[in-house]
Amino acid sequence: MKIYDVIGWACRVVPVLGVIALAGCGGDEPKGPEGLVCAAPATTPLPASPKGPLSWKGPGGPAQTYSSEALGVNCAFLDGGPEDDTDHHNTVTMLDGYLVMPWAPEWGGGGLSTFRFDDPCAPAPVGTSFSPLMRETHAAGFARMNGWKAVVNGVNGIQFWDLADPAAPTVTSDLSFEGVFWPDAYARVVLSVFWQAPYVYVAAADNGIFVVDATDPAKPVPLTKYKFDPPLRAGAIFAVGNLLAVMAAEGSRTVLLDIGDPARPTPIPGGTFEIEDGAGVRQEAYHAHLNGDKTWYARKSSGGGLIIYDISNPEAPRYAGDYHAPDGNGGYVFLKENVAFIGESHFAEAVDVSDPTKPALLRRFELTGDLDTIIPIGNVVVLSVDDKADEDHGSAVAPFLEAPDTRGPEVTMVNPRNGATSQPLTTRIGLTFGEFVDIGSLWEGSFFVRKLGTTEPIRGQYSGQEGIVNFWPASPLEPDTEYEVVVPAGGVVDFNGNPTQTEFRSTFKTGPCALPPKPTPYVEEEEE
């Protein structure tokens, strides 16, 4: 049984048996269909301070100052060790005070490496591990479940890692899907993952998307397979609260889906669209990003650059702005403090998007190879190529700003939206920040949800990746109730330990007493 199977069964059977009520059930609470009894979820005392019990094992993010002459110049290279012989690298991030670098070629055989990164021009290797079943990883999700866990792309599906010991990452499990296989790099493989713990949303190209229950990462369970009609080559995937966004790989289409029932993604009316540039010409993107009520596309047709869409109303997405790099060929795009960082295959760029209608180039970066990825961390960037690298130079570090980062993260989006009503009892709450944040700083003091007018946060699970964080309540919410989402000043921190400077608040209301039926049992399909 899965999480909502148990709740649904218990809410119907336990009251009949006269057993003590569970969280989400109550003897004298409002009743819904089929005698379902709904109650307030379990809570925990509000901590005295939003400052979390950070206990990084590593030293944290960049702490160095650079001269103006050093900006944009590669000062160090990152290598995964002897088995990283193809130098195919992608998205790096920080976890537990260390830099985490996935590496793997398209055909598989890769691993995770960790580094001290407080002095980025002299990174110090901490640990590295290899798996023959890991393949090129365009995104990695993280959650704390008896220590840090990660999910990445696998040769035939997805793969979970245990990062409790940064010096010795280990594979926890592999999950294969029928129809997912190499050698086609785009048509049949998993292209990216998003972990809204405990569920993992998997973009599997022409296979569509999979929903996986990873409550136990050692024994992940496929729940749902969703295929798009007309077909969509699912490339990028992002979950923010009850919203799921899926973008085509090397295509122009985006589909926004409602995941208020987390096991059953449902297209939002009006939420499917084709991206266009400012002249109204349809363009293709290699990959995309979601942040700040906007979707950000790394353009790959008729040159490179950036295309921005406003999805603040998911039923009516609209063009917001674009930037054209005629000599580029888009790879991946990420955001930090109103700057978009775009891999352009032949180079990478930092583009000012403080006014999305008028993006402006700030700086270009160079690294030999297919330079698809540029990740901002503090006042430096990490450049990564996934083909044709110089030996042991799959990733490089380059200073971007002179002074270390001292600005704290700011909330740029919330889902459910402020003032939303009739939200399902299975609602998850998602935020985006203007930069990647340290997910170890997420706890009941720094990001919490509570019944409006009360003080105690409800209990639940935190997870995040790429500037997106999610909170999954441990039990269904109370019906017809207004909830408050709070991010106090001084709580959530970025990779340098800078905390939020201002408080953020938002509210939403739940709907009537109702829970979704248990997910339809997932049965693997035989390929024709």
Of 6 and 74, more confident: 74
Q: What is the pLDDT of residue 48?
A: 82
For residue 461, is it within any domain? no
Examine the pLDDT at 220 and tell me if it is beyond 80: yes
For residue 25, is it within any domain? yes
CA distance 22 to 15: 9
How many residues are given for the chain? 528
Q: What is the pLDDT of residue 37?
A: 63
Examine the pLDDT at 35 and tell me if it is beyond 70: no
For residue 188, is it within any domain? no
Model confidence at 8, in pLDDT bands (50, 70, 90)?
very low
Q: What is the pLDDT of residue 524?
A: 72
CA distance 306 to 139: 19
Q: What is the pLDDT of residue 49?
A: 81
Mean pLDDT for 373-395 is 97
For residue 140, is it within any domain? no
CA distance 49 to 500: 13
Examine the pLDDT at 134 and tell me if it is beyond 50: yes
Kind of pairing, strands 266-274 and 395-399? unpaired
Q: What is the pLDDT of residue 522?
A: 78
User: Which of 6-10, 345-349, 406-410 has the weakest average pLDDT?
Assistant: 6-10
For residue 158, is it within any domain? no
What sign does the CA torsion over 298, 300, 305, 307 have? negative
Query: Do residues 152 and 169 touch, judged by C-beta distance below 8 A?
Result: no
Q: What is the pLDDT of residue 494?
A: 96
Domain span at residue 2?
1-39
Examine the pLDDT at 170 and tell me if it is beyond 90: yes
Examine the pLDDT at 442 and tell me if it is beyond 50: yes
Mean pLDDT for 461-479 is 96
Query: What CA–CA distances, in Å, run from 489 to 140, 189, 410, 486, 497?
Result: 28, 42, 10, 10, 13
For residue 27, is it within any domain? yes
Examine the pLDDT at 525 and tell me if it is beyond 80: no
Q: What is the pLDDT of residue 54?
A: 65
Model confidence at 52, in pLDDT bands (50, 70, 90)?
low
Total structural domains within the chain: 1
Model confidence at 3, in pLDDT bands (50, 70, 90)?
very low
Model confidence at 225, in pLDDT bands (50, 70, 90)?
very high
Distance of CA 143 to the CA centre of its chain: 11
Q: What is the pLDDT of residue 186?
A: 81
For residue 15, is it within any domain? yes
Examine the pLDDT at 216 and tell me if it is beyond 60: yes
Of 29 and 466, more confident: 466
Of 489 and 17, more confident: 489
Mean pLDDT for 333-340 is 98
Q: What is the pLDDT of residue 449?
A: 98
Mean pLDDT for 227-254 is 97
Model confidence at 489, in pLDDT bands (50, 70, 90)?
very high
Helix (H, G, I), strand (E, B) or coil at 491: coil
Model confidence at 12, in pLDDT bands (50, 70, 90)?
very low
Examine the pLDDT at 519 and tell me if it is beyond 60: yes
Q: Average pLDDT over the chain, rounded to whole?
A: 91
For residue 251, is it within any domain? no
Mean pLDDT for 90-119 is 96
